[in-house]
A and B are shown apart, each in its own frame.
Chain A
Amino acid sequence: MNNPDHHDSKHHTARAANPDLDWLAERFVLGELPLAEEEAVVASLSDDDDLAAAVARASLLVTAVRAVALRPPVASPEPAPRSKSRSKYGRWLAVPAVAAAAAWFIWLSPAMRPGTPPALPGSPEVAELWRESAETGWAAAESPAEDELHTEPDTAPDWMLAAVSLDAAGVGEPEVLEN
């Protein structure tokens, strides 16, 4: 495995008939190489990092194209069709109704009434509000995009951790196979 001449001959065999490394890797990943070429690629993989990188690219490409078939495209929401049941008289009646509601709201607002000082909270109240909002994490709630982008750190699965811990304990000494 560590004989450089042997590596070179394997690289030569794997690549000689396949100057396009990506196409070679793609056919390898798709299982479309003749057996002899497939064997040559497998033999070269652990020594030829360019080939391994091409196989990784091919794997990404194939999985991406296959996954696209399974992942429905995100449909942009269609605007709801406007209701035609409202008559043009209703539209005209809505204008004074909105104006009346706005006037009523302004009259009710203490800050807008003449002679009424605006009811602003004092500094102790502001400090209390600030403390409460800091405790409840309002800042995070105001930026849901950041919250959505947060992902859990990539951790090894249980089986990987179990394998490592078993190995550390010296359990299950395997026979050594040639790979």
Chain B
Amino acid sequence: MTASGGETPAGSGRLEADQILGIYDQWHDDLRRFLLATCGNAELAEELLQATFSRLVEVGQTARPESIRGWLFKVAHNELRLWRRRSATHARWLDSGPPGPTAAAVPWEEAIRGEEAAAVRRALATLPFEQRQVVEARIQRGQTFAAIAAELGLPLGTVLTRMRLALAKLRRSLGEKARDEQS
């Protein structure tokens, strides 16, 4: 089996270089965003991206070609978990919640194009204040839902509902663009 639908190299059983590069070209943006979103640290995301594609080189032939993106997400998530387990800063990371924007966050700005930023900013501006407050606290300042609920004096369920509604509205604003890119 091959992850990009071509022939598996005879003997080695691994993907060929052009297949790997093809997969990289097709999915590295999705994977970088996924890692940025899950780990919240641009430098770490780059390291994990590299580790993930190293795994593709090593064992990518075990993935089914029609679900290679999900396979990459899974590997990336495993790499993140491994890093958390190994990292000496894991305990501190758990205490403080996901790290927020840092000085090493330049690639974050590269993760979004100017027109996307403008669209997101417009969509954020249309959110009711209560919803925008939760989105900014969770995504932009990295607070946990529990911390936000405590700070606002609200039940956790209310905070989650506000977040869910806000993300649904934001998703509608970005959804068409994202679907276009994925198709």
Residues of A whose CB lies within 8 Å of any CB of B are: 1-2, 20, 22-23, 26, 29-32, 42, 44-49, 51-53, 55-71, 73-74, 154, 156, 159-161, 163-165, 167-168, 170, 174, 176-177, 179
Contact with A along B77-114 (1 / 0, CB 8 A): 11000000000000000000010010001001101101
Say yes or no: B101 contacts A70, CB within 8 Å.
yes
How far is it, in angstroms, between the C-alpha of A156 and the C-alpha of B30 when the chains are bound?
14
Which residues of chain B are within 8 angstroms of A70 by Cβ–Cβ distance? Answer: 101, 105, 108-109
Say yes or no: A63 contacts B37, CB within 8 Å.
yes
Say yes or no: A55 contacts B25, CB within 8 Å.
no
Residue of B nearest to A60 (CB): B178
| B-side interface mostly | helix
Residues of B whose CB lies within 8 Å of any CB of A are: 12, 14, 16-17, 20-21, 24-25, 28, 30, 33-34, 36-38, 40, 50, 53-55, 57-59, 62-64, 66-67, 69-71, 73-75, 77-78, 98, 101, 105, 108-109, 111-112, 114, 116-118, 120-121, 124, 135-136, 138-140, 144-145, 164, 167-168, 170-171, 174-175, 178-179, 181-182
Which residues of chain B are within 8 angstroms of A176 by Cβ–Cβ distance? Answer: 58-59, 62
How far is it, in angstroms, between the C-alpha of A57 and the C-alpha of B108 when the chains are bound?
16
Query: Contact partner of A67 among B25, B108, B170, CB < 8 A?
Result: B108
| A-side interface mostly | helix
Given A56-B34, A64-B120, A176-B58, check contact A154 B66 (CB 8 Å): no
Query: Contact partner of B117 among A22, A59, A68, A168, CB < 8 A?
Result: A68
Closest CB of chain B to A126's CB: distance in Å?
Answer: 42
Say yes or no: A156 contacts B24, CB within 8 Å.
yes
Given A67-B112, A179-B78, check contact A55 B167 (CB 8 Å): no
Say yes or no: B70 contacts A49, CB within 8 Å.
yes
Say yes or no: B71 contacts A62, CB within 8 Å.
no
Given A29-B34, A47-B70, A63-B33, check contact A71 B167 (CB 8 Å): no
Say yes or no: B57 contacts A57, CB within 8 Å.
no
Query: Contact partner of A26 among B64, B101, B167, CB < 8 A?
Result: B167
Closest CB of chain A to B158's CB: distance in Å?
Answer: 15
Which residues of chain B are within 8 angstroms of A165 by Cβ–Cβ distance? Answer: 17
